[in-house]
Structure 1
Amino acid sequence: MKWPAKRSVSGPARWDPFEEIRRTQERLNQLFEDFMPMEEWGGGKVYTPAIDIMEEDDKLVVTTDLPGINKEDVEINLKEDMLEISAKTGEEKETEEEGYLRKERAYTQFYRAVRLPVGVKEEGSTAKMENGVLTISLPKAQIEEPKKKIEIE
């Protein structure tokens, strides 16, 4: 059976509600990706949380949201002028139904590395976790410049 050829209809295009839903879904997906980007990996998702860095007189205060993460599962590393925050959480469910045994695992990982705007020192640094918000306080490094002697000609 041969279908009739499509006719070109001049005038305004017809509104397609399904196309509108598809475009709205794409915009929502992009908003979620911008807010908390993630990528799939072998057993779960990797989230890149937003980080706030505030400069106070003698320290930097870094905050980030890590919802559902226990403080024991968070690792913070300081390498020169890079701050690295990573956390992993997971759960396993085992169900047995009429001869079937099913075991499912879901893991979520958070990872973020940022270059700090000023030098900091590890000594005196603190971190605390409250209600899913990680706050890190990093004392600024005092850089002492050696005195330079100027010779008189």
Structure 2
Amino acid sequence: MANLIRRTESGSMEPSRFFDPFELMRDVMRWEPFRELGMLGRHELAFVPSFEVKETKDAYVFKADLPGVREPDLEISLTGARLMVTGKREEEKKEEGERYYAYERSYGSFTRSFTLPEGVDAEHAEAELKNGVLTVSIPKRPEVKPKKIELKAELKAGEKAKA
């Protein structure tokens, strides 16, 4: 099991009682220098939710993982062919004297926008936030749904076409 190493406010590490070269190598391999560069002057990471977008035969469905986002902090709008999802996840209150050994969760405001193809039925769009997952379903108008075209059978010599 990994040892916890307490970091001071300046970012330096307190020396460990035991030197484990394998643990050191694991820490080096997980190091993300660009993430730390982006955090200069900040103590939190930006919250950017991941989306899944799919097309079914009847609708376009957008799903996003939004753990910790409350319904009042979420706004979904559809203007023309542009779907906008805006929200925020509030940082939890830090108590005096608490010490963090890892601080990897992200907080803050986010905005995601998607351009939809022609033929969406904006009047019947639906959204639901359940168990931290946002689902937005935007149906297609009936005239743009795929239609099956029947093949006409080839007539053999001497047969009459059915009317």
Give the TM bin, normalised by the shorter chain: 0.5 to 0.7
* Cα deviation 1:25-79 (Å, max 9, x = unaligned): 12xx78xx8xxxxx77989643222211121222111101111011121111212
Answering whether residue 134 of structure 2 is matched by residue 128 of structure 1, we say: no
Aligned position for 2:101: none
**Where does the alignment leave 5 or more consecutive residues of structure 1 unmatched?**
1-15, 34-38, 98-105, 145-153
**Where does the alignment leave 5 or more consecutive residues of structure 2 unmatched?**
1-20, 98-105, 145-163
User: Partner amino acid for 1:22?
Assistant: V
- Aligned counterparts of 1:91 and 1:115: Cα–Cα separation in 2: 30
Aligned residues: 112
Q: 1:80 to 1:132 in 2, by over 3 A?
A: same
Aligned position for 1:22: 28
- Aligned counterparts of 1:132 and 1:82: Cα–Cα separation in 2: 23
- Aligned counterparts of 1:82 and 1:42: Cα–Cα separation in 2: 32
- Aligned counterparts of 1:121 and 1:21: Cα–Cα separation in 2: 51
Asked if the contact 1:85–1:113 (Cα under 8 Å) also holds between the matched residues in 2, the reply is yes
TM-score (norm 1): 0.55
In terms of fraction of residues, the more strand-rich structure is 1
Q: 1:128 to 1:20 in 2, by over 3 A?
A: closer
How many percent of aligned residue pairs carry the same amino acid? 32
Asked if the contact 2:47–2:89 (Cα under 8 Å) also holds between the matched residues in 1, the reply is no
Deviation of residue 19 (structure 1)? 7.1
Aligned position for 2:74: 74
* Cα deviation 1:106-127 (Å, max 9, x = unaligned): 9522321122245423201110
Aligned position for 2:90: 90
Aligned position for 2:58: 58
TM-score (norm 2): 0.52
Q: Which moved more, 1:52-61 or 1:41-50?
A: 41-50
* Cα deviation 1:89-135 (Å, max 9, x = unaligned): 325748789xxxxxxxx952232112224542320111001111000
Aligned position for 2:112: 112
- Aligned counterparts of 1:91 and 1:24: Cα–Cα separation in 2: 25
Give the root-mean-square deviation of aligned CA atoms: 3.7
